[in-house]
Amino acid sequence: MTLLNAYKRVTRRQRCPVCDRPDWCLVARESSPSKAICQRVESPHPRGEAGWLHQLHDAPSIRVDRPALEPERPSRCSAEWTSLTIRYHAAVQPGLLAELAHNLGVSIDSLKALWIGWTGKAWSCPMTDAEDNIIGIRLRGRDGSKWAEPGSRQGIFTPTGHIAAPGPTLIVEGPTETAAAIDLGFAVVGRPSCSACVSMMVFYLRLLAMRRGTPVDAVIVSNRDKPDQRGRRAGQRGAGVLFRALLSACRSVRVILPPRGIKDLRDWKRAGLTRDELTDVIEKARRHGCRRPQRMNIMDSV
């Protein structure tokens, strides 16, 4: 019996009783559900790729960081997002783009591959779904602040012409790290945050394998975040969740971290990282083949 015979997906009307989110998780098919499988909150009862089993009478004791819910905004269709992306991209002045590239420590060509645009007040970068449909636009202020165009859905960053680069496919966080990976000569896909778009990334890499005609070797480049008040590191925790999911979609999965004192791939590149050096780090990292998902401490891979 599959999980979906006994459980059903959560929705916006029936959110996960553990993490209070409307997606990914499962609840028992009962009038008053007694169990839930959450993909965000761990318990002593892992259920593979599906998440962790929770008895709902235990749920009140679980402490979860729950962001304030924003009011729903109507989303635009892909054609509207594409039109807006092209308009913003056409508005970029060469001098401004050169200034951005210099400030970020990446090349102008890598920014162009991401279809970076200018709204008149902020930099823009399109986000796509797994099938390359634009579903939103990430914005970045000149002061480094980040937000999204109203109506955007969270998506991934898929640079033009960089899905067939030789070697493994890097998975990074954010458009600027994606640009750094392009400059290092790797195939790359970025996600909007360390915990977002897990299911979308799995689907994307499966489609990528079909386009290439060969299975994908994935390398998750985790950010080296500072621990929060509870001692948890968001970037490394998110990399672990994605790692477990990708075991069902890729030929192999590795997880790497920048050296101590360096936060992410872009900072690592600015510190002098070369393609050969990164390749050496990847080859030394523990390789996990496609098999049943398991729990993992990503520090074991460093």
pLDDT tens-digit profile of 42-94?
Answer: 677 777 767 778 887 543 333 333 334 344 444 567 789 999 999 999 999 99
Give ∠ CA 173-113-117 in degrees, rounded to 5: 85
pLDDT: is 137 or 237 the higher one?
137
pLDDT: is 266 or 162 the higher one?
266
d(CA 86, CA 84): 5
Does residue 263 carry a pLDDT above 80? yes
d(CA 135, CA 16): 24
Does residue 296 carry a pLDDT above 70? no
The strand pair at 52-55 and 134-140 is best described as: unpaired
Copy the structure tokens of residue 265: 């791939």
Identify the band that residue 294 occupies on the pLDDT scale cut at 50, 70 and 90: very low
* Of the candidates 107, 170, 104, the residue with the CA atom closest to the CA atom of residue 140: 104
Convert the pLDDT of each residue in 212-222 to its tens digit: 888 899 999 99
pLDDT: is 160 or 99 the higher one?
99
Average confidence score pLDDT of the chain: 82
Residue pair 195/186 in contact (Cβ under 8 Å)? The answer is: no
The pLDDT value recorded for residue 91 is 95
Convert the pLDDT of each residue in 130-145 to its tens digit: 989 999 999 999 888 8
Does residue 97 carry a pLDDT above 70? yes
The DSSP call for residue 76 is: P
The pLDDT value recorded for residue 12 is 79
